[in-house]
Amino acid sequence: MVIMNDSKQITLSQDEVLEIHKSFHITAVSGSFDLVHLGHLRFLHCAKEINPENKLLVILLSDRIIKERKGPKRPFFNQEKRIEFLSYLKDVDYIVIWDQSLDELRKFTQELKSEVFVVNEGDPGLENKRENVERYGGKFVIFKRSDDYSTTKIISDIKNL
């Protein structure tokens, strides 16, 4: 599925991302972006603002990967809806769906060598991601959450209404 945003292709294959990187500098983030909320919007905006000339690449975890990590009732929104939502955000330049193992994701980020890789404070894979990015000489940035926004917490709060 290809989503168009301002007359440009926004969803790319891994190979297309690697090809684009030859022409543009990239800031990369990864995640589920399920039930997109203010915390996500702040995170993506800050990632883009680190170097506004860079293209912001969202490595979006597939429905299958999210189910494996978070359980059979997640994601709340399927990947097509999450792609569409993210495609409307002006800060997001490209999206690649990630449906392989997290080990393969580390290999892909090693090959991509984005100039900047941004993670949320408290990311469960923070140290592995830091080592991976520093290994190829990229800039690793930790986004400090200013509020307690979390899709899991929002779902829990709604259930408790």
Q: Identify the pLDDT of residue 36.
A: 86
pTM for the structure as a whole: 0.89
Strands annotated E in 1-154: 4-5, 8-9, 26-31, 55-61, 94-98, 116-120, 139-143
Q: How far apart are CA 96 and CA 128, in angstroms?
A: 21
Burial 125-138 (b: 16+ CB within 10 A, else e): eeeebbebbeeeeb
**Cβ pair 112, 17 in contact under 8 A:** yes
Mean pLDDT of 22-38: 93
CATH class of segment(s) 4-159: alpha beta
Mean pLDDT of 14-36: 92
Q: How far apart are CA 7 and CA 10, in angstroms?
A: 9
Amino acid present at 81: K
Q: Identify the pLDDT of residue 7.
A: 40
Mean pLDDT of 97-112: 93
Across 15-19, 61-65, 80-84, 152-156, least confident range = 152-156
Angle at 36 between CA 155 and CA 98, to 5 degrees: 105
Domain ranges of the chain: 4-159
**Cβ pair 155, 35 in contact under 8 A:** yes
Q: Identify the pLDDT of residue 115.
A: 96
Q: Identify the pLDDT of residue 9.
A: 58
